[in-house]
Amino acid sequence: MGMAMEKGCEVEARGINHHIHIPIPKRAHPLMMMKIWSRDDEDDHHQQQVEPTTTRTKTRHDIDARVDALIHDLTLARVAATRVKDLSGGERRRVSIGVEAVHDPAVLILDEPTSGLDSASALQIVGALRAMADTRRRTVLLSIHQPGARIVKMFDSVLLLAGGCALHHGTVDALRSLLDSAGLTLPAHVDTVEFSIDSVDALRRRTAAEQAAQQPAQLPPARDRCTLQQLFQLHKVADEDTLRSMDMENKSRYANCWAREVGVLSQRFFKNVARTRQLFACRTVCMLVAGLALGSIFYDLGEEKVAERVGLFAFLLTFLLSSTTEALPIFLQEREILAKETSSGAYRVSSYAVANAVVFLPFQLALAVVFAAPVYWMAGLRRTAAAFGYFVLLVWLILYTANSVVVCFAAAAPDFVVGNAAIQGVMGSFFLFSGYFIARSAMPSCWVFMHYLSLFKWPFEALLVNEFAGGGRCVARVMGACVATGDEVLRREGLGEECRWRNVGVMVGFVAAYRVLGYAVLRARCSLALRPRPRPSAARRWGLMSLAGSSPSSSSST
């Protein structure tokens, strides 16, 4: 029997067929966002994982001190200011371990932390975990395939499993004695654990013979084998008072409230955008160049050039609504990270959706101003401050609507090719039914609904109203006499001053609809990710090693 006590966390194990009682405080343990610096990655996840009551009592200095100590323990000080995606395999694995250990758990369980690494990196990681177990009095459980001899020497106890049966649980010396009693001679210069894994069939036969000679275990009727989950359900014991208190303390599976999650995620998204300066700078330059190019092409349009103004608005909408698909790969990558983080209880899907929607507003506004300023004044559009401000607002809403469409399709599309094709097809159909090529009155009745669903219709009409409504502006002259005003042109198209803010409201509604639809799809995908996967038909063979933060004499059974 082994027992470990650490910071209010009790772990009690009394054999595989007895009860296991582990009341551990709830927490979240998300994976890492691959665009964050290694130090900030652990810092952000510390904020996501701690309880709200703990957060209020901890100062920023305490959080920084804990993160710095963890970075030192994992020998990551040299790369603390390096992006995670630029780290080596071993360093990236240590960052992942730091994400799990940043909340200072009493028990740390890691599945194959050395897989895919070279021997030096694997030894360095296990050495860091060994030091963490010794200095912080922490129990560390590892599952490892084919551990090296130097790695095995760092473990206090070894649990050898095969086919769901425990063949050995104890020290490496005890494992060597088990091999001798089974009539297996350890060859020279061969590691004990490696040899025992190779000789697992002989050990299983010996274990089966010993079990046959003893009293048969009490298993459920009509079954010759139980999974660990079934055994836990059959043999766990917890008094009602403990369960009631745990239910009161863990009403939610999330460590933080919704508002705090939105704040932490918004801060993380803002860091990502701010640190990818090249992408934002390139996007800004493209918008500026496009604005200057359009302004030079449609330079100083006279009051009577109505067709040219309409053409400018049509191309402007096409450019703005179709130029945001470059963000699709980013959203697809974040979708995979979202599924992993939400499945581990790091935060809610709704928190991610709201933070993602809020953080891009100022960046889209900056792009709108950079694009609108040159094209508006160079083209000679309506020269009033109110009209220019409304024009900037429309460009901002157009960019944000396009971003919302990309987010929605990124949530549903399986990959970039399908998502990009779907977005281009939908945008093309919206442009066709916008009313620029064919009026609504000339459309077949079965297609009229597409006219009202078009993302081009509402901003296109708003741009026309902003340019031609009010002031008795003359747009056509014959022999010096005005024969048509802007208001008359708008009335012939069924437009008026009332369309100005109505269309803005419709665009805001489209933004909300696509955001909510994207959230619903993301929530459904994350719910499917939480469903248990089917068990493999054949059990695989693996070994479980444990590092315990206690003396060697008492850690072998921990």
CB atoms closer than 10 angstroms to residue 385: 7
Sorting pLDDT into bands at 50, 70 and 90, what band is 44?
low
Q: What is the mean pLDDT of residues 373-391?
A: 90
Percent of the chain with pLDDT over 90: 13
Q: Give pLDDT, residue 197.
A: 81
Is residue 440 pLDDT above 50, yes or no?
A: yes
First to last CA, the chain: 7
* Contact between 355 and 266 (Cβ < 8 Å): yes
Is residue 532 pLDDT above 60, yes or no?
A: no
Q: Rounded CA gap, 60 and 259, in Å?
A: 19
The ranges assigned to domains in the chain are: 2-214+549-555, 258-529
Q: What is the mean pLDDT of residues 192-200?
A: 81
Q: Give pLDDT, residue 213.
A: 67
pLDDT digits (tens, 9 = 90+) for 242-291: 545 555 544 556 767 888 888 888 888 888 777 777 777 888 899 999 99
Q: Rounded CA gap, 303 and 316, in Å?
A: 19
Pick from 28, 50, 56, 30: nearest CA to 41: 30
Q: Rounded CA gap, 246 and 109, in Å?
A: 22
pTM above 0.75, yes or no: no
Q: Give pLDDT, residue 479.
A: 66
What burial letters (b/e) apply to 407-434, b meaning 16+ CB within 10 Å? bbbbbbbeeeeebbeebeeebeebbbbb
HEC secondary structure over 372-426? HHHHHHHCCCCCCHHHHHHHHHHHHHHHHHHHHHHHHHHHHCCCHHHHHHHHHHH
Please return the burial class of 151, using the count of CB atoms within 10 Å of its CB with bins 0-12, 13-18 and 19+. Answer: buried
Q: Return the bridge partners of 158, or none.
A: 170, 545
Q: Rounded CA gap, 423 and 324, in Å?
A: 10
Sorting pLDDT into bands at 50, 70 and 90, what band is 394?
very high
CATH T-level fold of 2-214+549-555: Rossmann fold (3.40.50)
Pick from 316, 468, 280: nearest CA to 398: 316
Sorting pLDDT into bands at 50, 70 and 90, what band is 553?
very low
pLDDT digits (tens, 9 = 90+) for 135-170: 878 888 888 877 778 888 888 888 888 877 788 888
Pick from 429, 41, 484: nearest CA to 264: 41
Q: H or E element: which one contains 165?
A: strand 165-170
Q: Which residue has the tokens 């010794």?
A: 134
Q: What is the mean pLDDT of residues 407-421?
A: 88
Among 14-23, 98-107, 189-198, 442-451, whose mean pLDDT is lowest? 14-23
Q: Rounded CA gap, 142 and 472, in Å?
A: 79
What burial letters (b/e) apply to 519-558, b meaning 16+ CB within 10 Å? bebbbebbeeeeeeeeeeeeeeebbbbbbbbbeeeebbbb
Task: Take residue 179 and report the two structure tokens written for it.
Answer: 């091999």
Is residue 240 pLDDT above 50, yes or no?
A: no
Residues 6+ apart with CB under 8 A from 336: none
Sorting pLDDT into bands at 50, 70 and 90, what band is 92?
confident
**Residues 95, 96, 98: CA angle, nearest 5 degrees:** 60
* Contact between 352 and 339 (Cβ < 8 Å): no
Give, as one character, the DSSP assignment of residue 98: H
Residue 472, phi-psi category: left (phi > 0), alpha (psi -120 to 50), beta (remainder): left
Sorting pLDDT into bands at 50, 70 and 90, what band is 239?
very low
| C-alpha distances out from residue 170 to 3, 208, 230, 269, 413, Å | 15, 19, 24, 47, 50
Q: H or E element: which one contains 139?
A: strand 139-144
